[in-house]
Amino acid sequence: MSHEKSCIIKHFSHFCSLTEEEKQLLTTLEESPTNIKSGALLWEIGDPANEFCTLKSGWAYSYRHLENGDRQILEVFLPGDIIGLREFAFSERLENVRMIDNGVVCHFPHKRMLNIFRRSLKLTSIMFAIGSRQQAMLTERLVTLARRTARQKMAHFLYEMYLRLRQTNPDISNQFRLPLSQEQLADVLGLSPVHVSRTFTGLSEDELVFRDRHNLTIPDLQALCDEAGFDDCYLNDNINLMLADSA
């Protein structure tokens, strides 16, 4: 497989430059790709937590069902993301994971990750940085759910998706695909589907966001950032500084 086509290499390269040997190690996490259909369940709560998976293509999400049947989406995964990191120290899955659209998933056992840890300090450091970022995004989502208005919730989430997509697609424009349904957006943001629709209408009337089914256009990225009160500190990292200090 060409390194240029590897989503996980693009993802890791965002943090710092990689050698050919390090890129080759990462390609071992994308062996045995499996085509997965939209809506397919990757795993559910209580399943054995003995492997990770990478998204070679497609989007996925983790979620929990509440006692009343409501669903809370916890995290949205994009191509290049590693799913299952938070469960590394647990014997059972703590959340359900389902595909948002058609994609390609590569499963690999924990021992393959441990092999990378043994062979590369840099890749180990990046892995910890990725785990830290996932935790920071969950913390930011908690603030969004608890304290932001509906407009701020939507603007913040959409701008975050843009920044995350730009990580592996630096040439991304202000137009991109957002394959989440209205119901899924509602379950991410703690809103009703009707409220999601009304919020999109308001943002469109103010020329902040235009949505055509699953296609999104942001006319003025800075204006949307300001509307959300977005602070990107939780998406920034100091991995290069950390590696320099350890040299």
Q: In whole angstroms, how large is the CA radius of gyration of the chain?
A: 18
Report how far apart the first and last C-alpha atoms of the chain are (Å, whole number): 31
Amino acid, res. 59: W
pLDDT at 169: 87
Closest CA to 80 of 96, 50, 47, 58: 58
Q: Which two tokens stand for residue 42?
A: 């990757």
Same fold, 3-141 and 148-235: no
State how far the Cα of 44 lies from the Cα of 129, in Å rounded to an integer: 26
Which pLDDT value is given to residue 246?
A: 57
> Any idea where the domains of the chain sit in the sequence?
3-141, 148-235
131 close to 75: Cβ distance less than 8 angstroms? no
pLDDT at residue 3, as a whole number: 57
Fold of 3-141: Jelly Rolls (2.60.120)
What residues form DSSP beta bridges with 54? 82, 106
- In angstroms, what CA-CA distances link 101 with 91, 122, 140, 179? 28, 32, 25, 7
Helical ranges in 74-208 per DSSP H: 110-119, 121-147, 150-168, 182-189, 193-205
Q: What averages of pLDDT result for each successive group of 10 residues across the chain (247 residues)?
A: 72 88 92 94 96 94 93 95 93 97 94 92 90 92 94 97 91 93 96 96 97 95 96 81 59
Question: Do 224 and 155 touch, CB atoms closer than 8 A?
Answer: yes
Tell me which residue has tokens 């103010």.
206
Residue 233 tokens read as 């500190």
The CATH architecture that domain 148-235 belongs to is Orthogonal Bundle (1.10)
Phi, psi angles (nearest 5°) of residue 70: -65, 155
Q: What is the predicted pLDDT for the residue at 4?
A: 57
The answer to whether the beta carbons of residues 189 and 153 sit under 8 Å apart is yes
Give the pLDDT score at 244: 58
SS3 237: coil
Q: What is the pLDDT of residue 240?
A: 63
Query: Residue 56: which of 117, 22, 88, 9 has the closest Cα?
Result: 9
Q: For the beta carbon of residue 120, count every other beta carbon within 10 angstroms.
A: 18
The pTM (predicted TM-score) of the whole model is 0.91
Given a contact cutoff of 8 angstroms between Cβ atoms, the answer to whether 10 and 30 are in contact is no
Token pair recorded at residue 43: 């795993």
Give the C-alpha separation, 164 to 232, whole Å: 11
